[in-house]
Copies of this chain bind each other. A is one copy, B any other.
Amino acid sequence: MPRRFLNVALLLAAWCFGPGAQAADALPSWNDGAAKARIVAFVQAVTEPGGKDFVPPAERIAVFDNDGTLWAEQPAYFQALFIRDRIQALAPKHPEWKTQEPYASLLKGDLKAVLAGGEKALLQLAMATHAGMSTDEFRQIVSDWIATARHPKTGRLYTEMTYAPMRELLDYLRANAFKTWIVSGGGIEFMRPWAERVYGVPPEQVIGSSIQTKYELRNGQPVLVRLPALNFIDDKAGKPVGIQQHIGRRPIAAFGNSDGDFEMLAWTTGGPGARLGVIVHHDDAEREYAYDRKSHIGKLDRGLNEAGARGWTVVSMKGDWKTVFAPPR
């Protein structure tokens, strides 16, 4: 082949198959802008063989918060809505809940009274709905709920309130040999039953808060029983701890949306070499929700203050995303 043709062919091949060209097309739900460009430039840099920022595939670890980063978290964490639904479903078997707090207030729909009970009340509700059954039984409970329960405002399935641009990002990173992990304050066993189908993230790449489990025999068969006792809170400074415990390597890319992700972002971007820290900013009251510094859920204050100095990219849901919610999967 003449040299000129060869060059043209190589250029074409690079354009068709190189990480750069693929990248642009792999994120169709993202508007062209600084955020998208930064993400694509990072992926190109760490995947370019022989490049100064090249990272071997085994070390291409990307971590994603879930609530508010991969799916919505308003008007309450979806797991809190799961708890509410479960308390209602279990109420007929617990007549005592009609007069016992915090159950009574929850059943009357008086969320304010529930919250007045503080952390203790919430923990009590969580344990009443998350403990006492085997891990297999809990998986089935979550699977049934996620298949049918609907969001109070949109009427959609919760899995349809995952963000299309973020699901594209997960796919794009995996296409570039990243391993994608969820690192959430939510319950690890609440996410695992559907994270693989919805996000393409298998159970072993989900990190979250957990309660204790105990191995025992039931009718001679081994089961793992879920106990009403906290094991691990995967939030704030707990996130780097959970990452180390499960992954054993420092990630090179982290995606969050609230100050609960601050330490995860700091830990990820504090390492040597090319690093990517991204904050999803909820500034789209029309298509989703708008909240940040003063929100009880997903409070984002310090992250906004320090993102610039730390080189973190702030994604505007309003400006950077062509579409917000993902089609059913």
Contacts and interface: CB of A to CB of B under 8 A. Distances in A.
A58 B210 contact: no
B204 A249 contact: yes
Contacts of A77: none
A222 B267 contact: yes
A213 B189 contact: no
Interface string A201-216: 0111110001001111
Contact of A246 (B204, B237, B240): B204
A203 B247 contact: yes
A216 B210 CA distance: 22
B248 A189 contact: yes
Given A196-B58, A204-B249, A248-B189, A240 B267 contact: no
Contact of A203 (B189, B203, B248): B248
Contacts of A270: 221-222
A205 B202 CA distance: 13
A266 interface: yes
A188 interface: yes
Nearest to A181: B204
A275 interface: no
A88 interface: no
Interface string A238-282: 101100111111000000000000010011001000000000000
A67 to B, nearest CB: 19
The range of chain A's interface size is 35 or more
Contacts of A203: 247-249
Give the oligomeric copy count. Answer: 2
A170 B247 CA distance: 20
A248 B206 contact: yes
Contacts of A237: 214-216
A113 B266 CA distance: 46
A276 B68 CA distance: 41
A17 to B, nearest CB: 25
A124 interface: no
A288 to B, nearest CB: 29
Contact of A263 (B196, B210, B215): B215
A135 B263 CA distance: 16
A206 B240 CA distance: 17
Contacts of A167: none
Contacts of A58: 196, 202
Contact of A192 (B135, B240, B248): B248
Nearest to A249: B203
Interface of A: 58, 135, 179, 188-189, 192, 196, 202-206, 210, 213-216, 221-222, 224, 231, 237-238, 240-241, 244-249, 263, 266-267, 270
| A-B residue pairs, 9 tightest by C-beta | A203-B248, A215-B237, A204-B247, A215-B240, A192-B248, A222-B270, A222-B267, A222-B266, A224-B244
